[in-house]
């Protein structure tokens, strides 16, 4: 039996079981083994038995020397941290750089290239032991470099993903009782024995045992896979598991647990080390992967054609000599073309850009939990935002009210002295019918300028008012409320109220007191009485009720949030309905004590942020639980409500709902609507409203969910079975078009361009469905519950609406950065592939050899991605409409830019290839032209051979010359190089006249180069150098993807871009001047460097001119998908 003569299981559940006695002779030492015995996975029965064996929760607390009312002392905290360790979970070790480096070779293209390089190495070494190995080794070195860069990028990507998780964890807080005070700390600071207070929607930070709370439920699906919420009680299962969530605190304001398993000793910690999440592709990365595959196929085709052309040259140019050598060279070139053609840098650019942007966004109040959210926000067309704490400062203050039937204006309220009523039922309601507490110091002990409200800001305003009046809210709780006896029902979004039932109230004659607070007009509707100035209950007449309703409207018109405070007394528990423990009798015969007006100032930046979002084509919709007058007033203040649209209240809807013509005429002009009206519209009617509506008042989380799903089509029933599950008892055939949210086929038929891209803000547990249904869920970092944060993609760490607008800006920046890189890379691809193919078909050795193309590939992929993927956003990005979901990545202006630059570069390089010697003279000729130039059928071959024999028989000094001449017998043709071997450099005039002058077709222009026994690299070095300088300058052009000719805009702020340009230039100088036989480059005169730079620089004026070309100078209007705000 309880103190009121009433008993029952629930009352026993509410107690901690203090009657249990610790067994005599028990060892009171607390060990890790004892804690482990209470925390065995999937063994709650055994855990309960072991808990009972040590004396239940009392025995456990005794071993901890723990007072559950005051929590641990600072000394105990340090001692237990030293003894049992910190609440830090182990992590699966990151892959080392060496592992990632080895994995980088798991690429088919690179493997083929390595095999080809080894073949080239072996064959080349056999044919020319001195230098034949260089090309194969150079390719291997280049592949090694590519693999190192790939490994570095993969390492950075994994590190970024882990940093993302750590940033999220660093912002987490939990409520703990220490030293007799409730404080907020990071879960990492928890120790064994800590008393943790958990509310509905909180994540569980450590394994623990429940000792206070009733009707508590937890969702353990994250750990056990059990999808249903599990009830926690003191007799069957009081065990809480870390990484899970509290979904309901029942009739308690909170659930209090004692920590018994932390960090690696918790059930989650024991398995987390093997459960590290892996980063997955974002939608943009998937889109680019498709493009990579398409470009790769084109490059593969070009490689095949080039290979065929090079094979043909073996017989057309080389007469079929050394076929295997040429086949290997052709194969290497073809594979290298594939390497260059496949733009692996595109997904890499997304990773780099997202990594950079997410880090910057965190500094600006956006913690990105899902990487795709960053890019998706850039094309958001709708933001459905809460009011409190997002548009406002979340610093609620009561500034006006009606107490005891008397209105106190804002001017008089500041100096009002509390009456007996204010100190009585009103104060009890403020203190006991809430879970909020005030924190005066931060974690370091530094005092706040203003008490920090932990919990509901609305309830915070009420306890702050009590403190202002000199009333100790905590003392009232300690005096009048007992968790083992009294009932507490947290705010119910359907009933729009929260309630407390005090079962043994010591004041006055009535033993039972019900305290209720909630939406003013809703509570007023359930009131039969009101308290006068003396606190006596008076009949609530229609006139008095109209007076109160008028006051509510007046305060709402002043943008005040109104709250009604009421109570009801019972003589004892026998007079209260029997089901009061589960269904409080708070819906009738209430006594109205007060109506308060609460001001929550708009954030200083919200008006500008809303205006900016609207200018970017984004419809901002405020979804709030306030009444429609307050909601409209605030929406007008912050600029959300534009134009002079209609207001559709429940009363007005009831009047015209049976007049379809009038309703269809009104709905497209509705700017503000009440939630109960919206949820009763048909799908077609809802579509009419959504084209204009900017405010939804008196909304429930379900109303927000219905709005979101109707906008973006997520979660709509796709077949009859799903529809009937959503609407039980309804007939699909006749009613499928009558109820929201509609169904998939009907929704698609009315939206040929697809759905809207919707961002949704939410802070409560009930917001989770809408956050999940949105394209980007935005939870609040300060006021949001753990359930809401886990359901979201982005955590707004400062709860500001302006941070959401900055997320749109950064999202658009990511999208444009990827397009910049794409424009740059496609230009390089087109030019490199066509140059190598045309050169090969024309009979030249490949103008860009394998090592050169691998260097170009490095410029394109990593260097280009770093340079163009980290451009900072500019405000101009918010002056355009969002893009359609399926808008092409490469716009018409981008294609124009690519074609202009490709045409210039290709023409330039082909001119250098075919006519370079005409411009630069015979100082260098075409590669190995002279080295391999053949006389063909020498008419004096016999005489030369005879001469060789004579020389060999004579002077020993002439033996080498004689041997060289004699060897000519074995060659069918005489080459230019033979001139040097036979005649040398000193006497070549006489030697030439005697031996070579009358040989037919001997080309005199080659004489001065005949002394060269090596390949002349200068020709193709200049082609390679000019090509790379074209890319360096075109990187500046790629910074602008539209018609803006100012390619240097913001260049001083793009430090990474400038760094990459400098590094690329330095590496290019090194490769040209030092590369030698490895890269097949050679030192060129300063004059040629200047020419190369000038030829590359001409990409800049070409880029300037092309932006004024009238062809393809604007993007398709059909690519955009946003709103023009009503005016």
| Alpha carbon distance 629, 622 (integer Å) | 13
Is a pLDDT exceeding 60 seen at residue 407?
yes
Express as a percent the part of the chain with pLDDT over 90.
36
| Residue 807 CA neighbour count, 13 Å, CB half | 37
Q: Judge whether 216 and 240 are in contact, CB under 8 Å.
A: no
Mean pLDDT across the stretch 840-863?
74
Q: Which of 653-667, 785-799, 921-935, 1013-1027 has the lowest mean pLDDT?
A: 921-935
> How does pLDDT run across 190-247, given as a tens digit for each residue?
999 999 999 887 889 999 999 998 889 898 877 776 767 889 988 889 999 988 888 8
Task: Please provide the DSSP assignment of 603-629 as one string.
Answer: PTTHHHHHHHHHHTTPEEEEE-SS-HH
At residue 682, the 3 state secondary structure works out as coil
Q: Which of 676-680, 891-895, 917-921, 1045-1049 has the lowest mean pLDDT?
A: 917-921
Q: Judge whether 882 and 380 are in contact, CB under 8 Å.
A: yes
Q: Judge whether 1108 and 1040 are in contact, CB under 8 Å.
A: no
Q: Judge whether 1039 and 820 are in contact, CB under 8 Å.
A: yes
The per-type count for the chain, helices as H runs and strands as E runs, is: 46, 29
| Alpha carbon distance 975, 979 (integer Å) | 7
Is a pLDDT exceeding 90 seen at residue 702?
no
> E strand or H helix at 185, and its extent?
strand 181-185
Mean pLDDT across the stretch 1059-1085?
87
> How does pLDDT run across 1080-1093, given as a tens digit for each residue?
788 888 888 999 99
Is a pLDDT exceeding 70 seen at residue 128?
no
Express as a percent the part of the chain with pLDDT over 70.
80
| Residue 788 CA neighbour count, 13 Å, CB half | 23
> How does pLDDT run across 642-668, given as a tens digit for each residue?
988 999 999 999 999 999 899 989 999
| Alpha carbon distance 61, 50 (integer Å) | 14
- What's the chain's average pLDDT? 81
- Could you say which of 11, 386, 775, 861 is catalytic? 386
How high is the pLDDT of residue 225?
Answer: 65
How high is the pLDDT of residue 134?
Answer: 67
Angle ∠(1067,1070,1076) on CA atoms, nearest 5:
130
Is a pLDDT exceeding 50 seen at residue 1009?
no
| Alpha carbon distance 314, 302 (integer Å) | 19
**Distance of alpha carbon 407 from the chain centroid:** 50
Residue 530: band (very low, low, confident or very high) from pLDDT cuts 50, 70, 90: very high
In 353-481, at which residue ranges do the beta strands (DSSP E only) sit? 366-368, 382-385, 397-403, 406-408, 437-441, 447-454
**Distance of alpha carbon 500 from the chain centroid:** 41
Tell me, yes or no, if the pTM score tops 0.75: no
Is a pLDDT exceeding 80 seen at residue 524?
yes
How high is the pLDDT of residue 472?
Answer: 93
Which of the two residues, 158 and 54, has the higher pLDDT score? 54
Q: Which of 2-16, 150-164, 877-891, 1090-1104 has the highest mean pLDDT?
A: 1090-1104
How high is the pLDDT of residue 515?
Answer: 96
Whether residue 741 is preceded by a cis peptide bond, meaning omega within 30 degrees of 0, is yes
How high is the pLDDT of residue 248?
Answer: 84
Q: Which of 5-9, 241-245, 609-613, 980-984 has the lowest mean pLDDT?
A: 5-9
How high is the pLDDT of residue 258?
Answer: 96
Give the bridge partners for 796, in sequence order. 366, 780
> How does pLDDT run across 291-336, given as a tens digit for each residue?
767 777 777 787 788 788 878 877 776 666 777 777 877 777 777 6
Mean pLDDT across the stretch 396-405?
92
Q: Judge whether 181 and 768 are in contact, CB under 8 Å.
A: no
Task: Please provide the DSSP assignment of 808-871 as one string.
Answer: HHHHHHHHHHHHHHHHHHHHHHHHHHHHHHHHHHTTPPPSS-HHHHHHHHHIIIIIHHHHHTTP
| Alpha carbon distance 455, 197 (integer Å) | 12
Render the burial of 956-983: b for 16+ CB within 10 Å, e for the rest: eeeeebbebbbebeeeeebbbbbbbbbb
| Alpha carbon distance 847, 832 (integer Å) | 9
Residue 684: band (very low, low, confident or very high) from pLDDT cuts 50, 70, 90: very high
Give the bridge partners for 367, in sequence order. 795
The residues near 998 (Cβ < 8 Å, ≥ 6 apart) are 939, 940
Q: Which of 286-300, 386-400, 936-950 has the lowest mean pLDDT?
A: 936-950
How high is the pLDDT of residue 168?
Answer: 66
How high is the pLDDT of residue 598?
Answer: 93
Is a pLDDT exceeding 50 seen at residue 279?
no
| Alpha carbon distance 395, 453 (integer Å) | 9
Q: Is 526 a catalytic residue?
A: no
Is a pLDDT exceeding 70 seen at residue 105?
yes
Is a pLDDT exceeding 80 seen at residue 560?
yes
How high is the pLDDT of residue 441?
Answer: 81
Residue 91: band (very low, low, confident or very high) from pLDDT cuts 50, 70, 90: low
How high is the pLDDT of residue 470?
Answer: 92
Which of the two residues, 365 and 192, has the higher pLDDT score? 192
Residue 637: band (very low, low, confident or very high) from pLDDT cuts 50, 70, 90: very high
Give the bridge partners for 498, in sequence order. 517
Mean pLDDT across the stretch 467-485?
90
How high is the pLDDT of residue 461?
Answer: 93
> How does pLDDT run across 821-835, given as a tens digit for each residue?
889 988 988 898 888
Residue 294's closest CA among 360, 346, 239? 346
**Residues in the chain, overall count:** 1127
How high is the pLDDT of residue 318?
Answer: 62
Give the bridge partners for 568, in sequence order. 514
How high is the pLDDT of residue 17?
Answer: 34
Mean pLDDT across the stretch 445-473?
88
How high is the pLDDT of residue 1013?
Answer: 43
| Residue 492 CA neighbour count, 13 Å, CB half | 19
How high is the pLDDT of residue 525?
Answer: 94
How high is the pLDDT of residue 616?
Answer: 94
Pairing of strands 758-762, 776-780: parallel
Q: Judge whether 192 and 31 are in contact, CB under 8 Å.
A: no
Q: How many C-beta neighbours within 10 Å does residue 526 have?
A: 19
Dihedral in degrees, nearest 10, Cα atoms 248, 254, 255, 260:
120
Task: Please provide the DSSP assignment of 23-86 as one string.
Answer: PTT------HHHHHHT--TT-HHHHHHHHHHTTHHHHHHHHHT--TTT-B-HHHHHHHHHHH--
Q: Judge whether 890 and 1114 are in contact, CB under 8 Å.
A: no
Q: Judge whether 216 and 280 are in contact, CB under 8 Å.
A: no
**Distance of alpha carbon 416 from the chain centroid:** 50
Q: Using H for helix, E for strand and C for coil, what is the string for 873-924?
A: CCHHHHHCCCECCCCCCCCHHHHHHHHHHHHHHHHHHHHHHHHHHHHHHHHC
């Amino acid at each position: 039996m309880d103190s009121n003569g009433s008993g029952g299981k629930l009352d026993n559940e509410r107690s901690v079981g203090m009657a249990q006695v610790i067994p005599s002779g028990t060892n009171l030492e607390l060990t890790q083994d004892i804690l482990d015995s209470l925390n065995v996975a999937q063994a709650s029965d055994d855990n309960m038995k072991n808990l009972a064996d040590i004396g239940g929760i009392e025995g456990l607390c005794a071993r901890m020397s723990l007072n559950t009312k005051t929590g641990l002392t600072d000394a105990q905290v340090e001692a237990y941290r030293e003894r049992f360790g910190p609440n830090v979970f182990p992590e699966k070790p990151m892959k080392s750089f060496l592992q990632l480096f080895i994995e980088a070779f798991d690429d088919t293209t690179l493997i083929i290239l390595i095999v080809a390089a080894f073949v080239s190495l072996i064959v080349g070494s056999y044919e020319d032991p001195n230098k034949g190995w260089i090309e194969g080794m150079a390719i291997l070195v280049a592949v090694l470099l590519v693999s190192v860069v790939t490994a570095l990028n993969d390492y950075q990507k994994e590190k970024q993903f882990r940093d993302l998780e750590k940033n999220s964890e660093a912002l987490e807080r939990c409520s703990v009782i220490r030293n007799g005070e409730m404080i907020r700390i990071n879960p990492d600071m928890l120790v064994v024995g800590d008393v943790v207070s958990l509310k509905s929607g909180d994540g569980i930070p450590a394994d623990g045992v429940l000792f206070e709370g009733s009707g508590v439920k937890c969702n353990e699906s994250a750990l056990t896979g059990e999808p249903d919420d599990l009830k926690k009680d003191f007799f069957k299962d009081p065990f809480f598991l870390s990484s899970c969530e509290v979904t309901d605190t029942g009739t308690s304001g909170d659930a209090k647990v004692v920590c018994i398993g932390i960090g690696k000793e918790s059930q989650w910690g024991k398995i987390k080390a093997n459960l590290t999440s892996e980063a997955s592709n974002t939608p943009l990365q998937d889109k680019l992967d498709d493009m990579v595959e398409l470009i790769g196929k084109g490059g593969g085709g070009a490689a095949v054609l080039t290979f065929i052309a090079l094979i043909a040259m073996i017989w057309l140019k080389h007469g079929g000599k050394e076929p295997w050598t040429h086949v290997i060279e052709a194969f290497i070139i073809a594979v290298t073309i594939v390497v260059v053609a496949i733009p692996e840098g595109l997904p890499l650019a997304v990773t780099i850009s997202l990594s950079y942007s997410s880090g910057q966004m965190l500094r600006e109040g956006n913690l990105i939990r899902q990487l795709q959210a960053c890019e998706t926000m850039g094309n958001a067309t709708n933001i459905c935002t809460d009011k409190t704490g997002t548009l406002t400062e979340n610093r609620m203050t009561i500034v006006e009210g009606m107490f005891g039937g008397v209105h106190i204006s804002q001017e008089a309220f500041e100096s009002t002295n509390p009456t007996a009523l204010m100190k009585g039922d009103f104060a009890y309601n403020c203190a006991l019918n809430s879970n909020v507490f005030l924190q005066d110091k931060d974690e370091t002990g530094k005092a706040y300028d203003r008490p920090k409200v932990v919990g509901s800001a609305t309830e915070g305003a009420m306890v702050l008012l009590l403190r202002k009046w000199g009333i100790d809210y905590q003392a009232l709780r300690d005096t009048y409320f007992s968790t083992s006896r009294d009932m507490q029902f947290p705010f119910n979004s359907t009933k729009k109220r929260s309630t407390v039932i005090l079962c043994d109230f010591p004041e006055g004659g009535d033993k039972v007191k019900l305290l209720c607070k909630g939406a003013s007009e809703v509570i007023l509707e359930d009131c039969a009485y009101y308290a006068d100035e003396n606190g006596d209950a008076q009949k609530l007449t229609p006139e008095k009720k109209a007076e109160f309703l008028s006051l509510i409207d007046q305060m709402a018109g002043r943008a005040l949030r109104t709250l009604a405070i009421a109570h009801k007394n019972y003589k004892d528990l026998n007079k209260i309905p029997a089901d009061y423990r589960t269904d409080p009798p708070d819906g009738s015969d209430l006594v109205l004590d007060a109506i308060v007006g609460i001001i929550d100032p708009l954030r200083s930046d919200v008006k500008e942020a809303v205006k900016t979002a609207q200018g970017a084509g984004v419809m901002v919709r405020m979804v709030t639980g306030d009444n429609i007058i307050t909601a409209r007033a605030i929406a007008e203040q912050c600029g959300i409500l534009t134009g002079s649209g209609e207001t559709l209240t429940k009363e007005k809807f009831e009047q015209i709902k049976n007049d379809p013509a009038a309703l269809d005429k009104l709905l497209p002009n509705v700017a503000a609507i009440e939630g109960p009206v919206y949820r009763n519209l048909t799908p077609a009617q809802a579509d009419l409203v959504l084209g204009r509506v900017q405010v939804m008042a008196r909304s429930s989380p379900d109303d927000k969910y219905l709005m979101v799903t109707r906008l973006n089509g997520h979660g709509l029933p796709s077949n009859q079975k799903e529809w009937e599950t959503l609407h039980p008892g309804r007939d699909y055939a006749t009613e499928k078009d009558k109820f929201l949210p509609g169904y998939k086929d009907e929704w698609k038929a009315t939206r040929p361009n697809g759905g809207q891209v919707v961002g949704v803000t939410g802070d409560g547990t009930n917001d989770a469905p809408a956050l999940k249904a949105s394209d980007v869920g935005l939870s609040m970092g300060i006021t949001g519950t753990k359930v809401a944060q886990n359901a979201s993609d982005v955590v707004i760490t400062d709860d500001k609406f302006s941070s959401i607008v900055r997320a749109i800006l950064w999202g658009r920046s990511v999208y444009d950065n990827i397009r910049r890189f794409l424009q740059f890379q496609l230009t390089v691809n087109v030019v490199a592939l066509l140059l190598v193919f045309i050169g090969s078909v024309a009979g030249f050795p490949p103008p860009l050899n394998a090592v050169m193309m691998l260097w170009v590939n490095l410029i394109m992929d990593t260097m280009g991605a770093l340079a163009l993927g980290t451009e900072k956003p500019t405000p101009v990005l918010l002056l355009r409409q969002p893009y359609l979901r399926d808008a092409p990545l490469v716009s018409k202006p981008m294609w124009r830019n690519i074609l202009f630059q490709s045409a210039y570069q290709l023409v330039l390089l082909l001119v250098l290839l075919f006519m370079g010697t005409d411009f630069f003279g015979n100082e260098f000729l075409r590669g190995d032209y002279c080295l391999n130039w053949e006389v063909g059928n020498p008419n004096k071959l016999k005489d030369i051979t005879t001469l060789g024999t004579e020389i060999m028989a004579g002077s020993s000094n002439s033996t080498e010359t004689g041997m060289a001449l004699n060897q000519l017998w074995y060659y069918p043709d005489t080459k230019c190089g033979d001139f040097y071997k036979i005649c040398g450099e000193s006497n070549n005039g006489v030697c030439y006249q005697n031996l070579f002058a009358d040989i037919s077709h001997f080309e005199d222009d080659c004489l001065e180069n005949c002394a060269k026994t090596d390949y002349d690299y200068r020709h193709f070095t200049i082609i390679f150098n000019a090509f790379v300088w074209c890319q360096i300058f075109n990187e500046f052009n790629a910074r602008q993807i539209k018609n803006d000719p100012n390619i240097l805009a913001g260049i001083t702020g793009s430090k990474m871009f400038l760094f990459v340009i400098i590094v690329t230039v330095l590496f290019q100088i090194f490769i040209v001047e030092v590369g030698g036989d490895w890269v097949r480059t050679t030192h060129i005169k300063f004059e040629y460097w200047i020419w190369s730079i000038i030829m590359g620089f001409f990409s800049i004026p070409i880029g300037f001119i092309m932006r004024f070309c009238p062809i393809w100078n604007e993007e398709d209007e059909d690519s955009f998908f946003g709103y023009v705000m009503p005016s």
